[in-house]
Structure 1
Amino acid sequence: MGDQPSSTPPDYHNVLGITKGASIRDVAKAYKSLVMRWHPDKHPVSNKIEAEAKFKAINEAYGVYTFIHIYIYIYIYICTHTYKQEDQSMYGVHDHGDNGGGGSRGDEYTTSNDFFKHRSVDNHFSSTPSPLSKSASRRNNSSTVFPTSLPKSISRRSTNSIMFSHSARRKPPPIEKKLECTLEELCNGCIKKIKITRDVVTNTGIIVQEEELLRIKVKPGWKKGTKITFEGMGDERPGTLPADITFLIAEKRHPLFKREGDELVLAIEIPLVKALTGCTLSIPLLGGEKMSLLLDDIIYPGYEKIIPDQGMPNPKEQGRRGDLRIKFLIIFPKQLSDEQRTDILNLLQDSF
């Protein structure tokens, strides 16, 4: 006679070594470990009977656990689906918004060190002007109107739900423009006013041109590539959302200074005799001032002098500035007489 299946299913909690509140992941992990441990092929002949019995009990326990949880999932799905259908049939209007059913949230402003963005968040049901509202403004999409009551011919319990939905309007990619700034403007900060002309769709569907004045507050320390975005300030087209306009900071080339992060680099020419004997130089600063710099070191190729806190501001740390690095370009004489060569040789031959 073959083995008869047990009439009572095994206690899968004890067989799998799990608690009653264990998650599906814990059960699967325990099952995988036990199956690998008690697989009959991994045990000698003397222990094969016990391994086969445990292996069978492990698989039966896992099967019982899986069946119970699948049954629970199906039951929950049926109950939820039935409740949802009745609820939708009761009210007949479906909300396709993604803000959780709240009211108007007003305007939201997103601000970071390199990105300014303003976007308008409309009413819970609004996305595009609805044909149900005759007074909808072309510049305001939050005036969607719904009928105050349903026709009497429509049953309150009808399964044919009435849905008020809006077709999604495509938004073109942002329009990028360069905003050139001098190092002085990026160091001290400034206000940039930019006038743009854009196409606007009127209430009658006619496209007209309007002028807009955009105001950009450049903060001290902004770097090349910083983005400032004005949402919805691009051209309007029927059936589409207006594009965003993004300005990218670009640094104008400076005649004296070069920017490297928060540091400024200044190249100074110095004659060979001053490089060897020392001197006092007048150093220009970015703000237009000058400072006196005493050099008592020997200036050699690659030598740099660091002036603290005379670089660019750090936009993330108020009051902190980078350094000014001075590089020296040594001017060598192009011609020397024989007598000069002899004198230089006599002076320098014992120095090396």
Structure 2
Amino acid sequence: MQGVHSYRYNVDGIGVSDTPNSPGGLSKRRSVDNIFPLLPSYFSRSSSRRSPSPFSRSASRRSPSPTPSSLYRSISRKSAELTGHPGASPASLSRNTSRRSTTPIMYSNSTGIPVKPPAVEKKLECTLEELCFGCTKKIKITRDAITSSGQLIQDEEVLSIKVKPGWKKGTKITFEGKGNEVPGTQPADIIFLIAEKRHHLFRRDGDDLELAVEIPLVKALTGCTISVPLLGGEKMDLSIDDEIIHPGYVKMIEGQGMPTKDPEGARGNLKLLFLVDFPTELTDEQRSNVLGILEDCC
């Protein structure tokens, strides 16, 4: 199995609008100076002089024409009644109305298309057994999510990853749109990177497995039968009778390694790396016997 693979999980997401909200508040305000042309004609002085009614003079004294300052104070008083704050102006009413708006403000880039933040990478540790025989991993994630009303909440979700036999360290599994949500952007992706847990017996080398086997010197010279552990908990007997086991000796057991991609269902090999345990002490008689046996062999 060559190379590192990448797997992508497509997730249907709900798009977040990136169009800025229209400005809230009141409609266009008219200045005080623009109100006077709309006032009735009986407020003018000439209209008072032309009035034929005998009560016009007293009515004029009792109801003087409104001045700009008095009219502005009247508008301010009505604004205060609306807002509940004395002295509040129409401008402050507009600001208060805009401030109370609950519509979330959305941002976008210059093209109007929501940007997508960089993907978030997480490590997913697997044992050699899980990578050899396959398994299903459940991962609980917590992320920032935006509700339909624009509120930011913490959302929990459990993701399921089906680990396939033969996956290697560095294999990528991508979940689209399962990262944090930020107003005005698309949800980020989450990428899980396969990492191999260290095994107490085996070491992986591509599609092969390596196992160190230590035997005493006498068995290395005279032959032996040993019990070899296999990945998964099984054992097999291996006899070595016609060979001398020397330091660095390697014995290959076919089909007991990791699954390969091609052909499908095949497995690599198990390499036995032999370590010879030499004695630390010999008597004079033992030395003499060894010398007599090995003198003509070296």
Normalized against structure 2, the TM-score is what?
0.65
Distance 1:303 1:251 in 2: 27
State the SS of the aligned residue for 1:229. Answer: strand
**Quick one: which amino acid aligns to residue 172 of structure 2?**
K
- 2:255 pairs with 306, 309, 322, which one? 309
Asked whether the 8 Å contact 2:142–2:154 carries over to 1, the reply is yes
1:192-211 mapped onto 2 (5 Å cutoff): 192-211=137-156
Is 1:235 the equivalent of 2:123? no
Number of residue pairs matched by the alignment: 207
Aligned to 1:274: 219
- 1:214 pairs with 155, 159, 163, which one? 159
Aligned to 1:349: 295
- 1:340 pairs with 286, 292, 297, which one? 286
**Structure 2 vs 1, CA of residues 253 and 276 (structure 1 numbering), >3 Å: closer, same or farther?**
same
Instruction: Note the C-alpha offset of 1:180.
Output: 0.5
Aligned to 1:330: 276
Aligned to 1:178: 123
Which sections of structure 1, spanning at least 5 residues, go unmatched?
1-111, 133-164
State the SS of the aligned residue for 1:280. Answer: strand
Distance 1:350 1:226 in 2: 55
Query: CA offsets, 1:203-230, max 9 Å, x none?
Result: 2221001111100000000000000000
Distance 2:214 2:4 in 1: 37
Which sections of structure 2, spanning at least 5 residues, go unmatched?
21-109
State the SS of the aligned residue for 1:346. Answer: helix
**Quick one: which amino acid aligns to residue 116 of structure 1?**
Y
Distance 1:183 1:315 in 2: 16
Distance 1:198 1:341 in 2: 72
Asked whether the 8 Å contact 2:4–2:170 carries over to 1, the reply is no
Distance 1:261 1:113 in 2: 11
Distance 1:327 1:223 in 2: 23
- The alignment-based identity, stated in percent, is 60
Distance 1:298 1:241 in 2: 66
Instruction: Note the C-alpha offset of 1:129.
Output: 2.6
Asked whether the 8 Å contact 1:268–1:326 carries over to 2, the reply is yes
Asked whether the 8 Å contact 1:113–1:315 carries over to 2, the reply is no
- 1:129 pairs with 14, 17, 25, which one? 17
Aligned to 1:114: 5
Cα RMSD for the two superposed structures = 2.4
Aligned to 1:318: 264
Distance 2:185 2:263 in 1: 41
State the SS of the aligned residue for 1:259. Answer: strand
Distance 1:192 1:130 in 2: 36
Aligned to 2:93: none
Instruction: Note the C-alpha offset of 1:121.
Output: 7.8
Aligned to 1:254: 199
Aligned to 1:160: none
Distance 1:340 1:238 in 2: 83
Relative contact order, higher structure (CA 8 A, sep 6+): 2
Distance 2:268 2:119 in 1: 34
Asked whether the 8 Å contact 1:220–1:313 carries over to 2, the reply is yes
Asked whether the 8 Å contact 2:127–2:196 carries over to 1, the reply is yes
1:98-177 mapped onto 2 (5 Å cutoff): 114-119=5-10, 128-129=16-17, 167-177=112-122
Aligned to 2:85: none
